[in-house]
């Protein structure tokens, strides 16, 4: 995660406390952070963590930067730096967290929040709460653009598959996943042959650096209708007969 987001995390927390529409940005930043906790690594699957008591219950003190940890703990205890997603996996969600305790700007993360952070539901939920303008802004900022030279490689690959009528390139954004949207090539085909999706995937990805997913469009998939209605195909297969009718 870049330093800008880490440096502005306090601002994100303050904004989320004051304005619920900022929850998505806050949780998105939190799950992508490297956190600092008091404890040690027992083995690849076990952390020995130090919990504290707050309001009559045990909570896990979690710091969003080394500077905040050192300012409060002052190297009195051993510590572990760990990505938030991995901490959720290894520490579990049975006990709540307290972000940046004793720093003046802290937040308790209850067990229900931890559970939905772990499986991504909280990010999907708050992304859907954003205005259409905000969603569009986020997607526009992260859109994956491929150069025309790459698109020509795609077209060259698809010519080897006669049953492909049209192909669309779209960006799929998963709010709960770290990083940018990923490119997806969606195909309209005459006949879906067994193993065709994998064959097209292999053919395309042998010629590009960034992995591109492949989907065969099916009317029963809601995404299919959206792609066809809102996206211009970058590849058309025209039969010889269809070509001839242009000159009749």
User: Which domains are assigned to the chain?
Assistant: 3-130 (3.40.1350.90), 141-247 (3.30.460.10)
Of residues 69, 40, 38, 41, the one with CA closest to residue 51: 38
Number of CB atoms found within 10 A of residue 82's CB? 21
pTM of the model: 0.65
Q: Name residues of the chain where pLDDT drops below 70.
A: 1-7, 140-144, 176-180, 220-222, 239-248
Give me the count of residues in the chain.
248
- What local confidence, expressed as pLDDT, does residue 23 receive? 92
Nearest one of 230, 146, 164, 238 to 203, comparing CA atoms: 164
The single residue listed with the structure tokens 């859907």 is 128
Instruction: Give me the percent of the chain exceeding a pLDDT of 90.
Output: 42
CA 225 – CA 35 distance, rounded (Å): 41
Digit-coded pLDDT (tens) for 177-190: 656 678 889 999 98
Please, what is the average pLDDT of the chain? 84
């Amino acid at each position: 995660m870049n330093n800008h987001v880490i440096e502005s995390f306090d601002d994100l927390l303050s904004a989320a406390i004051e304005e619920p529409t900022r929850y998505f940005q806050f949780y998105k930043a939190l799950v992508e952070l490297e956190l600092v906790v008091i404890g040690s690594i027992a083995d690849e699957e076990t952390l020995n963590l130090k919990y504290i008591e707050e309001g009559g219950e045990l909570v896990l003190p979690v710091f969003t930067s080394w500077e905040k940890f050192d300012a409060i703990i002052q190297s009195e205890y051993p510590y572990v730096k760990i990505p938030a997603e991995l901490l959720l996996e290894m520490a579990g969600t049975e006990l709540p967290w307290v972000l940046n305790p004793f720093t003046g700007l802290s937040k308790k993360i209850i067990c229900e929040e931890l559970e939905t952070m772990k499986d991504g539901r909280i990010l999907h939920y708050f992304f859907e709460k954003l205005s259409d303008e905000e969603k569009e802004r986020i997607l526009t900022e992260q859109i994956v653009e491929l150069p025309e030279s790459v698109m020509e490689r795609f077209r060259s690959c698809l010519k080897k598959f006669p049953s492909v009528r049209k192909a669309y390139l779209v960006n799929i954004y998963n709010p709960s996943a770290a990083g940018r949207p990923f490119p997806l090539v969606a195909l309209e085909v005459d006949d879906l042959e067994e193993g065709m999706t994998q064959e097209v995937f292999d053919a395309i990805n042998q010629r590009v650096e960034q992995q591109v997913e492949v989907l065969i469009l099916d009317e029963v998939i809601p995404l299919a209708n959206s792609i066809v209605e809102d996206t211009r195909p970058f590849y058309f297969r025209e039969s010889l007969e269809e070509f001839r009718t242009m000159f009749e």
